[in-house]
Amino acid sequence: MAEIIQAVRGMNDILPEETPIWQHAEFIMRRVLQGYGYQEIRTPIVEKTDLFKRSIGDVTDIVEKEMYSFLDRNQENLSLRPEGTACCVRAGIEHGLLYNQIQRLWYIGPYFRHERPQKGRYRQFYQCSAEVFGLPGPDIDAELIMLSATILEKLGLKSLVTLQLNSLGTAESRSEYRKRLVHYLNENKDQLDEDSLRRLHKNPLRVLDSKNPDLKELIAHAPKLIEHLDAESLMHFETLQQYLTHAGIAFELNPCLVRGLDYYTKTVFEWVTDKLGAQGTLCAGGRYDSLVEQLGGKPTPAIGFSVGMERTILLMQQSPRNPKVESGVHAYFIMDDPSAFPAAMKIANYLRSKVPGLRLMLHCGGGNLKSQFKKADKSGAQYAIIIGEHELKTRSISLKNLRENLPQQNLYQDELAEYLKLKITKKI
């Protein structure tokens, strides 16, 4: 036997038994996003490596060690996208969607990072994202956060997540603060771990984001960015908090919340849970007012967020409100003789066209009636639809309820269609 080739480590198959909950989550997200007037954009999975170097930042974990980069056959340096914002901005600039316009966009798809695989952290993972261009906030910041809250609420996760909020200020106020932070960290250098020492010079704000419990105390006493905000950022942040309070959206201020990517300014937020261990961030977002310019466009304010799909699904599966998504077939169509197959195929399609939403499986592969009834039962269908010699002669169809002890019925095709329509709208 040939050797079996397995999937790449950290890249998951999503099997048929799992896809219903994925479809449900995606459906809810789409519906909420459309309800807020967002339009879908789809961009390629592969981009030029420079796009990510320039946007995410050279000294971030992603660019330093997590990207899947390769030279293609033309020796062009390309990467599988590790995140979506840079791609969306690239497309927006390229197609003239951003200049002097307001855009509310969303997209969903796979991303790739060479991280250590563990529960809630994979090398291919999915995100659903929203981005808004052309609005400086804080009104849109509040509305975008409300949108993310609505998604989580509609997925039944509201009681399991909390919203954390911070402001990173403008790039200028941050560079002033950065000096103070480096000074503080340098004075306490002996307490830093290897990762933080590396970040100290390259990206000191990321030290605040360290998950190492030994650094907790040190980080707690570090100077706070929020205490060194410029007046405009402070006003922005306070107004946002008022809007959220008014909307009844609870939040916690977390002065140590800095996002992993370099491009964020002002508002940053995360929806976190304590139910998924170390991978507790479900959704992360923030404002990135300088990114469009950094990527060659005209200065354009922008804000967005991404929901991690795998973590969302894991949490949904743990939630007491886990929706039981119904996806099996309603009916299974069998025939007493293979000669009836062409007629069965035709009638099955007639029923599908007459009964919106009907999930009807046609038996293929032959076998006697008994074995076909067994397959019908195994399919989980509520009904078996049967045609045989008698039915063909009388242009009728038989219907057997597989789950309730009721007599088999004999109906005309249009009667059966009406009957199923009624049952399907009543969810059988």
Residue with tokens 């563990």: 118
Closest separation between CB of residue 419 and ligand ATP, Å?
46
Q: Which is nearer to ligand ATP, 86 or 282 (CB)?
A: 282
Q: Which is nearer to ligand ATP, 205 or 340 (CB)?
A: 205
Q: Which among 86, 68, 81, 71 is positioned nearest to 109, based on CA atoms?
A: 81
Query: Residue 63 in contact with residue 261, Cβ under 8 Å?
Result: no
Find all residues with CB under 8 Å of 215, minimum gap 6, and list them.
Answer: 191, 192, 193, 196, 207
Closest separation between CB of residue 90 and ligand ATP, Å?
17
Q: Which is nearer to ligand ATP, 291 or 376 (CB)?
A: 291
Residue whose C-beta lies closest to ligand ATP: 308
Closest separation between CB of residue 360 and ligand ATP, Å?
37
Strand positions, DSSP E, 236-341: 252-253, 265-272, 281-287, 302-308, 331-335
Interface contacts to ligand ATP, rule CB under 6 A: 83, 113, 115, 120-122, 125, 127, 260, 279, 281-284, 306, 308, 310-311
Closest separation between CB of residue 48 and ligand ATP, Å?
19
> Quick one: angle between helices 85-94 and 49-56, nearest 10?
110
Q: Which is nearer to ligand ATP, 108 or 381 (CB)?
A: 108
Q: Which is nearer to ligand ATP, 275 or 352 (CB)?
A: 275
Token pair belonging to 83 = 């995140």
Residue with tokens 């009636």: 369
Q: Which is nearer to ligand ATP, 85 or 150 (CB)?
A: 85
Query: Residue 132 in contact with residue 144, Cβ under 8 Å?
Result: yes
Closest separation between CB of residue 406 and ligand ATP, Å?
48
Closest separation between CB of residue 174 and ligand ATP, Å?
18
Q: Which among 157, 178, 52, 67 is positioned nearest to 114, based on CA atoms?
A: 67
